Chain A
């Protein structure tokens, strides 16, 4: 604890000179461009795939399986592959985001369009409409609201990811941050964090506005196109890429690697469990202190802002900072997952408390109980269900995130992957990628089965 203060003070004051802020503009624009360009590609790929699934054309079942599989490769892993194959820079980041979010959005569109009500579509088909007409006049209008809402949500999440891919050489603000951390230039790191939090806050507001006026989502198409033109990989050396890709096969682990595999996996799981556990405890406290129906505004307002800062800094960025100041290892990884998760969960917990059904609370208050007692007897028990669901989803999410935290030095299976990449042991690297992939897919499936069994719906937040 004695060493904490000098460490923290190294980050202050932030560099706020006009010339440095101007210098940060290109990376910020690059990050925004990465998100816009990759999402443009992702939507372009997803719409036809989603419509095919919605019309239940033959072959959609294997298609959905493929999409689910691609989605199970963590975005940072895709990014590291793209960086190896196509070189460091925004082009690799854009490609990685387009591949990952292409799968995510296509799966989402397919799921939405497959739940379109059948009778109107059958009536339309009975008039002799062709498939394309069915899609244009039946499927898309029926599900327009859902498509736009969830489209805006994924766009928001892609923006955060576009900062993160920079951490492995994908360009933008993330790459800038890695550079400053490597140079131990902590005051500039603080400036970059302030810029990051501001950008995310502005985009959050924009996303809220877009959800209310979804038509304007279409205005992002020309922006996306422009970004695509600016950041598309310039020198695609396909021969080289194919050659390097060939070197990754067949994947292989040495005997020593096999022996170390279980401890590494445990380290990854521990990171997720410890991070989520700590976050749940912190969020229980801060969620209650920020819920509008429980806490006074003078307390809730500043704490809400603090939680916003915690969650607008992505896990990987927290990880980069903590590793730079506290050293590599799973503790830093768990703390990074915990800080971001605490911010996310505090908001979800607060919402659960605010949305607890009113009638039973009024009934308890009607017996003459005091405010504290009404909270303990009605508000909290009524919110526990949603709180448990949110915590479970967060654990699932963190298990996935823990596999990539190693890529920035937080230990576990991701660390092994990163070390292999640094030493150009590509066959080992591919083996770790495949292992990670299978594990994430397993967690995904287990969580989906659990969700279906208890009829829980994922709530985007």
Chain B
């Protein structure tokens, strides 16, 4: 477990994501929910965020995903400043950040392959995106199939998304992120609504895919024992700031009772 600040020197040379002095106040919040956030994450690194609910884990992830604007500080992804971008440039950068949410994240009325290929929308033209909804080409379907193979769901290619179980839907969301081929993959409580066996399988899948494809993975979790088991690094969000290994020690008694 490395302190985020101490890690900075080592990571500066090959860091994919760099946060400095970041402060975030979501709409309606009187004072910043997050402040003084500094963090470096390298390519292929898997980072878990733990902490009680309401401490700001989701806010941090949504800020990184470009859904909430920071009020102070910088976010640098792949050498570009996310905090300074607007419009088309922001959209282009967002296409390099994948997001897997807890649930309710897929467009349920669409078919599985459509949800998977939504990951490609950032690089497709508007016309191509509209055409795909009515007439997908076989090459495009093959891409969807290979992404679904990576998550073990190739047989559900044309199934209606609403007919899938919670764990299967989560895997479709991961397949969508794979098609997007992001540099940074964010996952907000991806296993919170899943049973323990499925939860482990999903985390195993996420971390191994991040390693194999060289994506940085930042994942919020509320089960510290899963965090220490699957992730390179565990940070705790507490009272709006990031702290290091304390989270893991605090988690020890929890593991006994779990």
Contacts and interface: CB of A to CB of B under 8 A. Distances in A.
Interface stretch (A41-49, A354-362, A424-432): A354-362
Interface in A334-387: 357, 359-360, 362-370, 372-373, 376-378, 381-382, 384-385
Interface in A314-349: none
A382 B108 CA distance: 7
Given A366-B97, A367-B94, A368-B94, A378 B122 contact: no
Contacts of A378: 107
Contact of A367 (B108, B121, B126): B121
B176 A367 contact: yes
Interface residues of B, number: 35
B107 A369 contact: no
A47 to B, nearest CB: 42
11 contacts: A359-B101, A359-B105, A363-B173, A366-B99, A367-B94, A367-B98, A368-B92, A369-B91, A369-B118, A369-B121, A381-B107
B15 interface: no
B104 A364 contact: no
Point out which of A370, A373, A378 has the most chain B C-beta atoms below 10 A from its C-beta.
A373
A369 B124 CA distance: 8
A376 B129 contact: yes
A360 B114 CA distance: 13
Contacts of B122: 367-369
Interface string B55-67: 0000000000111
B167 to A, nearest CB: 18
Given A359-B101, A377-B129, A366 B94 contact: yes
Given A373-B130, A376-B129, A368 B121 contact: yes
B170 interface: no
B174 interface: no
A369 B99 CA distance: 14
A360 B173 CA distance: 11
A368 B123 contact: yes
A366 B66 contact: yes
B126 A372 contact: yes
A358 B67 CA distance: 12
A370 B107 contact: no
A381 B109 contact: yes
